[in-house]
Amino acid sequence: MAKKILIVDDEEGIIFLIKRRLVKLGYEVTEAHNGLDGITLAKQKHPDLILLDFMMPELSGLEACRMLKSDPQYESIKIVLLTARDQQKDKDVAKEVGADGYITKPFEPDDLIAKVKELIGS
């Protein structure tokens, strides 16, 4: 059975590139374009991993991560924050809210795939 990944990002181009690569590798991919829709889909689909943009309209990736990780029903979902913010303080806050990974944009697709495989396998 294919591992399920939810991509939550407000940039269509980012979603397209990531999704295309993951689908080729055999993952089942769902997408959302803001934090609120991401939370809703995470609760409906219960993905193995969420690739979550840090800064989005309606609900930030940090808030979405905090909400999911504080709920025992969803805390086991692996979450990787994707962001242009590369300050150590941002990485520290991501860890505090429960993120399992942190990748800065722009990123190498191979690095993202390696993180996905590290967290949930192939």
pLDDT digits (tens, 9 = 90+) for 27-81: 999 999 999 999 999 999 999 999 999 998 889 999 999 999 999 999 999 999 9
Please classify residue 7 by burial: count the beta carbons closer than 10 Å to its beta carbon, then call 0-12 exposed, 13-18 middle and 19+ buried. buried
Is residue 86 very low, low, confident or very high in pLDDT (cuts 50, 70, 90)? confident
HEC-encoded secondary structure of 43-102 = HHHCCCEEEEECCCCCCCHHHHHHHHHCCCCCCCCEEEEEECCCCHHHHHHHHHCCCCEE
**pLDDT (average), residues 95-99:** 96
What 8-state DSSP symbol labels residue 2? P
Q: Which two tokens stand for residue 18?
A: 């990531």
Q: Which fold has domain 4-108?
A: Rossmann fold (3.40.50)
* pLDDT at site 119: 98
